[in-house]
Amino acid sequence: MKTSNIFDDVPTKLDAEQVTDLVREGGMCIKRIVSTGHTTGWLNPDDEEWVVVLKGAAVLRFEEGDCKLTMRLGDWCYIPAGCRHRVGETSDKEPTVWIAVHFKVSETAASDVGAKV
């Protein structure tokens, strides 16, 4: 059993995004990401990704359909593998704290997961 708090030691100014692995187990990774005004280039992920914003604000951009998605406290987004996207903006007024879950779709039947809890 491992425990901590998402909001512990959130830096207010960073040269580059801060990425911290919270859990990394075969086939899956849960990260905390802190951005302070950072953006990214286009990403073409090999993995499935689910992200949620827990502080601050951001804008994601998606190549398909030239979509723009504004993300504020509690907003989450599921980005399938191969979905080209980038972080277009993050707040420069306060740190933006994300949780990101990266995973590969396995052949385990989805219906078997989490059934007992």
The interface with a copy of itself within residues 48-77 (CB under 8 A) comprises: 48-50, 52, 54, 62, 67, 69, 73-77
Least distance in Å: CB of 91 to a copy of itself? 17
Residue closest to 90 by CA, chosen among 53, 45, 47: 53
CA distance 11 to 24: 22
Q: How far is CA 21 from CA 10, 11, 24, 30, 73, in A?
A: 14, 16, 7, 6, 21
**Which of 7, 20, 68, 82 is close enough to bind a copy of itself by CB under 8 A?**
7
Residue whose token pair is 């809890």: 117
Does position 14 interact with a copy of itself (CB under 8 A)? The reply is: no
User: Can you give the binding site for a copy of itself, defined by CB under 8 A?
Assistant: 1-8, 22-31, 43-50, 52, 54, 62, 67, 69, 73-80, 83, 85, 99-110, 112-117
